[in-house]
Structure 1
Amino acid sequence: MQERAFPLIFADRVTATAEFYERLGFTRWRQNPPEGEPTYIALRRGTAELAVVSTAWPETQYGSPAGRGPRFEMFVLVDDLDMTLKELADASVPLLRAPVDMPWGERIAYVTDPDGNPVALAAAPHS
Protein backbone atom coordinates (compact mmCIF):
# COMPACT_ATOMS: atom_id res chain seq x y z
CA MET A 1 0.00 0.00 0.00
CA GLN A 2 1.28 3.45 -0.89
CA GLU A 3 1.32 5.76 2.13
CA ARG A 4 0.02 9.22 1.33
CA ALA A 5 -2.25 11.92 2.62
CA PHE A 6 -3.31 15.19 1.04
CA PRO A 7 -5.69 18.05 1.81
CA LEU A 8 -8.93 18.73 -0.03
CA ILE A 9 -9.55 22.40 -0.69
CA PHE A 10 -13.27 23.11 -1.00
CA ALA A 11 -13.75 25.79 -3.66
CA ASP A 12 -16.66 27.53 -5.32
CA ARG A 13 -14.35 28.22 -8.27
CA VAL A 14 -12.55 24.89 -8.77
CA THR A 15 -10.73 25.75 -12.00
CA ALA A 16 -9.65 29.24 -10.89
CA THR A 17 -8.42 27.88 -7.55
CA ALA A 18 -6.45 25.08 -9.25
CA GLU A 19 -4.92 27.63 -11.63
CA PHE A 20 -3.84 29.71 -8.60
CA TYR A 21 -1.90 26.72 -7.22
CA GLU A 22 -0.44 26.02 -10.66
CA ARG A 23 1.07 29.54 -10.45
CA LEU A 24 2.84 28.33 -7.27
CA GLY A 25 4.44 25.37 -9.06
CA PHE A 26 1.81 22.67 -8.68
CA THR A 27 0.91 20.65 -11.78
CA ARG A 28 -2.47 19.18 -12.62
CA TRP A 29 -2.38 15.42 -12.89
CA ARG A 30 -6.03 14.37 -12.65
CA GLN A 31 -9.47 15.92 -12.89
CA ASN A 32 -13.05 14.74 -12.73
CA PRO A 33 -14.90 14.80 -15.01
CA PRO A 34 -12.06 14.49 -17.54
CA GLU A 35 -13.86 16.86 -19.96
CA GLY A 36 -15.85 20.00 -19.22
CA GLU A 37 -16.04 21.94 -15.96
CA PRO A 38 -14.25 19.89 -13.27
CA THR A 39 -15.54 19.34 -9.76
CA TYR A 40 -12.23 17.74 -8.65
CA ILE A 41 -8.67 18.62 -9.68
CA ALA A 42 -5.66 16.80 -8.22
CA LEU A 43 -2.37 18.71 -8.14
CA ARG A 44 1.24 17.78 -7.33
CA ARG A 45 4.41 19.71 -6.56
CA GLY A 46 7.31 17.38 -5.91
CA THR A 47 6.02 15.00 -3.23
CA ALA A 48 3.30 17.43 -2.09
CA GLU A 49 -0.26 16.78 -3.22
CA LEU A 50 -3.56 18.58 -2.87
CA ALA A 51 -6.98 18.40 -4.46
CA VAL A 52 -9.31 21.27 -5.27
CA VAL A 53 -12.88 20.07 -4.89
CA SER A 54 -16.28 21.67 -5.41
CA THR A 55 -17.96 23.00 -2.26
CA ALA A 56 -20.80 20.59 -3.12
CA TRP A 57 -18.51 17.64 -2.22
CA PRO A 58 -19.04 17.50 1.58
CA GLU A 59 -22.83 17.66 1.23
CA THR A 60 -22.96 14.88 -1.37
CA GLN A 61 -20.36 12.65 0.32
CA TYR A 62 -21.31 12.86 4.01
CA GLY A 63 -24.24 15.24 4.39
CA SER A 64 -22.42 18.25 5.80
CA PRO A 65 -22.23 21.53 3.88
CA ALA A 66 -18.90 23.27 3.35
CA GLY A 67 -18.35 26.20 5.67
CA ARG A 68 -18.25 29.84 4.62
CA GLY A 69 -15.25 32.10 5.09
CA PRO A 70 -11.73 30.68 5.21
CA ARG A 71 -11.89 26.91 5.02
CA PHE A 72 -8.14 26.33 5.47
CA GLU A 73 -4.76 28.05 5.46
CA MET A 74 -2.15 26.71 3.07
CA PHE A 75 1.60 27.14 3.62
CA VAL A 76 3.79 27.02 0.49
CA LEU A 77 7.57 27.38 0.30
CA VAL A 78 8.79 29.37 -2.73
CA ASP A 79 12.30 30.04 -4.03
CA ASP A 80 11.95 33.81 -4.42
CA LEU A 81 9.20 35.41 -2.34
CA ASP A 82 9.45 38.89 -3.88
CA MET A 83 9.33 37.55 -7.46
CA THR A 84 6.41 35.26 -6.62
CA LEU A 85 4.50 38.16 -5.05
CA LYS A 86 5.15 40.32 -8.13
CA GLU A 87 3.88 37.57 -10.45
CA LEU A 88 0.78 37.09 -8.30
CA ALA A 89 0.15 40.86 -8.13
CA ASP A 90 0.39 40.98 -11.93
CA ALA A 91 -2.34 38.31 -11.95
CA SER A 92 -4.48 40.44 -9.56
CA VAL A 93 -4.04 38.06 -6.62
CA PRO A 94 -4.83 40.02 -3.41
CA LEU A 95 -2.03 40.54 -0.90
CA LEU A 96 -3.27 40.00 2.67
CA ARG A 97 0.02 40.77 4.46
CA ALA A 98 3.27 42.20 3.13
CA PRO A 99 6.49 40.18 3.58
CA VAL A 100 7.89 40.01 7.11
CA ASP A 101 11.14 38.46 8.29
CA MET A 102 10.24 35.98 11.00
CA PRO A 103 12.44 35.32 14.09
CA TRP A 104 12.99 31.69 13.00
CA GLY A 105 14.53 32.83 9.70
CA GLU A 106 11.81 32.61 7.08
CA ARG A 107 10.42 35.54 5.14
CA ILE A 108 6.61 35.21 4.97
CA ALA A 109 3.77 36.99 3.18
CA TYR A 110 0.08 36.16 2.88
CA VAL A 111 -2.06 36.18 -0.25
CA THR A 112 -5.54 34.83 -0.89
CA ASP A 113 -6.72 32.16 -3.29
CA PRO A 114 -9.77 32.79 -5.54
CA ASP A 115 -12.13 31.60 -2.78
CA GLY A 116 -10.67 33.95 -0.16
CA ASN A 117 -8.63 31.37 1.75
CA PRO A 118 -5.31 32.61 3.17
CA VAL A 119 -2.12 31.24 1.67
CA ALA A 120 1.19 31.82 3.45
CA LEU A 121 4.13 32.04 1.07
CA ALA A 122 7.53 31.60 2.66
CA ALA A 123 11.17 31.65 1.59
CA ALA A 124 14.41 31.28 3.50
CA PRO A 125 16.35 34.52 3.89
CA HIS A 126 19.17 35.17 1.39
CA SER A 127 22.52 34.21 2.82
Structure 2
Amino acid sequence: MFSTPQVNIYARDVETSLGFWSALGFTETFRTPADGPPDHVELTLQGLKIGMGSAELGVTEHGLDIHLDERGRGMEVVLWTDDVDAAHALATGRGARSLQEPHDVRALRVAYVLDPDDNPVEFVAHRDDAG
Protein backbone atom coordinates (compact mmCIF):
# COMPACT_ATOMS: atom_id res chain seq x y z
CA MET A 1 0.00 0.00 0.00
CA PHE A 2 2.79 2.45 0.83
CA SER A 3 6.25 2.88 -0.63
CA THR A 4 9.18 5.29 -0.78
CA PRO A 5 8.78 6.98 2.61
CA GLN A 6 10.25 10.40 3.19
CA VAL A 7 10.14 13.21 5.73
CA ASN A 8 8.98 16.60 4.48
CA ILE A 9 10.21 19.81 6.05
CA TYR A 10 8.70 23.19 5.29
CA ALA A 11 11.45 25.79 4.99
CA ARG A 12 11.51 29.55 5.25
CA ASP A 13 14.27 29.54 2.64
CA VAL A 14 14.75 26.31 0.67
CA GLU A 15 18.28 27.21 -0.46
CA THR A 16 19.45 27.91 3.10
CA SER A 17 18.01 24.60 4.30
CA LEU A 18 19.53 22.81 1.29
CA GLY A 19 22.98 24.11 2.26
CA PHE A 20 22.51 22.89 5.85
CA TRP A 21 21.37 19.37 4.96
CA SER A 22 23.97 19.04 2.17
CA ALA A 23 26.71 19.86 4.69
CA LEU A 24 25.46 16.93 6.80
CA GLY A 25 26.01 14.54 3.89
CA PHE A 26 22.64 14.52 2.14
CA THR A 27 22.69 14.45 -1.67
CA GLU A 28 20.20 16.37 -3.78
CA THR A 29 18.14 14.03 -5.98
CA PHE A 30 15.36 16.31 -7.24
CA ARG A 31 14.45 20.00 -7.44
CA THR A 32 11.72 22.14 -8.90
CA PRO A 33 11.83 24.36 -10.75
CA ALA A 34 14.90 23.09 -12.53
CA ASP A 35 16.22 26.64 -13.02
CA GLY A 36 16.32 29.46 -10.50
CA PRO A 37 15.57 29.34 -6.79
CA PRO A 38 13.97 26.01 -5.82
CA ASP A 39 10.45 25.65 -4.41
CA HIS A 40 11.01 22.00 -3.50
CA VAL A 41 14.16 19.90 -3.17
CA GLU A 42 14.57 16.22 -2.27
CA LEU A 43 17.71 14.87 -0.59
CA THR A 44 18.83 11.39 0.43
CA LEU A 45 21.32 9.87 2.85
CA GLN A 46 21.59 6.08 3.10
CA GLY A 47 17.95 5.50 2.26
CA LEU A 48 16.45 8.41 4.21
CA LYS A 49 14.74 10.88 1.92
CA ILE A 50 14.00 14.41 3.06
CA GLY A 51 11.76 16.66 1.00
CA MET A 52 12.14 20.37 1.60
CA GLY A 53 9.39 22.64 0.40
CA SER A 54 8.75 26.35 0.58
CA ALA A 55 6.50 27.10 3.56
CA GLU A 56 5.06 30.04 1.63
CA LEU A 57 4.02 27.80 -1.28
CA GLY A 58 2.61 25.22 1.15
CA VAL A 59 0.23 27.91 2.31
CA THR A 60 -0.54 29.61 -1.03
CA GLU A 61 -0.60 26.56 -3.35
CA HIS A 62 -1.79 23.79 -1.03
CA GLY A 63 -3.80 25.73 1.54
CA LEU A 64 -1.83 24.25 4.43
CA ASP A 65 -1.86 25.87 7.86
CA ILE A 66 1.91 26.14 8.32
CA HIS A 67 3.26 28.17 11.21
CA LEU A 68 7.04 28.38 11.38
CA ASP A 69 8.02 29.50 14.83
CA GLU A 70 10.89 28.88 17.21
CA ARG A 71 9.33 25.61 18.39
CA GLY A 72 9.31 23.77 15.07
CA ARG A 73 6.45 21.38 14.36
CA GLY A 74 6.90 18.27 16.46
CA MET A 75 9.29 16.26 14.32
CA GLU A 76 12.97 15.53 14.36
CA VAL A 77 15.48 13.93 12.07
CA VAL A 78 17.81 11.42 13.73
CA LEU A 79 21.25 10.97 12.21
CA TRP A 80 23.47 8.17 13.49
CA THR A 81 27.15 9.05 13.27
CA ASP A 82 30.57 7.84 14.36
CA ASP A 83 31.41 11.22 15.91
CA VAL A 84 28.63 13.16 17.62
CA ASP A 85 30.96 15.96 18.67
CA ALA A 86 32.18 16.53 15.11
CA ALA A 87 28.63 16.38 13.74
CA HIS A 88 27.48 18.95 16.32
CA ALA A 89 30.43 21.20 15.45
CA LEU A 90 29.70 20.90 11.72
CA ALA A 91 26.03 21.74 12.16
CA THR A 92 26.61 24.70 14.47
CA GLY A 93 29.35 25.89 12.13
CA ARG A 94 26.69 25.97 9.40
CA GLY A 95 24.44 28.17 11.54
CA ALA A 96 22.39 25.59 13.44
CA ARG A 97 21.47 26.53 16.98
CA SER A 98 22.51 24.03 19.64
CA LEU A 99 19.70 22.59 21.75
CA GLN A 100 21.98 20.26 23.71
CA GLU A 101 25.74 20.03 23.56
CA PRO A 102 27.17 16.53 23.03
CA HIS A 103 26.63 14.41 26.13
CA ASP A 104 26.49 10.79 27.24
CA VAL A 105 23.19 9.07 27.96
CA ARG A 106 23.43 5.43 28.99
CA ALA A 107 25.24 3.67 26.12
CA LEU A 108 24.88 6.61 23.70
CA ARG A 109 26.59 9.88 22.85
CA VAL A 110 23.91 12.42 21.86
CA ALA A 111 23.57 16.05 20.76
CA TYR A 112 20.69 18.13 19.40
CA VAL A 113 20.59 21.15 17.11
CA LEU A 114 17.89 23.14 15.36
CA ASP A 115 18.08 23.30 11.56
CA PRO A 116 17.51 26.67 9.80
CA ASP A 117 13.74 26.18 10.15
CA ASP A 118 13.86 25.25 13.85
CA ASN A 119 13.32 21.53 13.31
CA PRO A 120 15.25 19.41 15.83
CA VAL A 121 18.07 17.23 14.54
CA GLU A 122 19.52 14.56 16.82
CA PHE A 123 23.06 13.26 16.33
CA VAL A 124 23.59 9.93 18.06
CA ALA A 125 26.28 7.25 18.35
CA HIS A 126 26.84 4.12 20.41
CA ARG A 127 29.56 4.70 23.00
CA ASP A 128 32.51 2.33 22.78
CA ASP A 129 33.18 2.66 26.51
CA ALA A 130 29.63 1.83 27.58
CA GLY A 131 29.37 -1.53 29.24
Say whether the fold is shared (TM-score over 0.5): yes
The count of residues paired between Structure 1 and Structure 2 equals 126
Distance 1:24 1:126 in 2: 23
Q: Which runs of 5+ in 2 are unaligned?
A: none
- Show the counterpart of 2:43: 43
Superposition TM-score, scaled by structure 1 size: 0.87
- Pairing partner for 1:100 from 76, 80, 103: 103
Distance 2:89 2:8 in 1: 27
CA deviation after TM superposition for structure 1 residue 79, in Å = 2.0
Superposition TM-score, scaled by structure 2 size: 0.84
Counterpart amino acid of residue 59 in structure 2: E
Check whether the contact 1:12–1:55 (CA below 8 A) recurs between aligned residues.
Answer: yes
Counterpart amino acid of residue 88 in structure 1: A
Q: After the TM superposition, which parts of structure 1 deviate over 4 Å for at least 4 consecutive aligned residues? A: none
Check whether the contact 2:68–2:117 (CA below 8 A) recurs between aligned residues.
Answer: no
The CA RMSD measured in Å over matched residues stands at 1.9
- Show the counterpart of 1:76: 79
CA deviation after TM superposition for structure 1 residue 2, in Å = 8.3
SS of equivalent residue, structure 2 residue 91: helix
SS of equivalent residue, structure 1 residue 96: strand
- Pairing partner for 1:112 from 109, 114, 130: 114
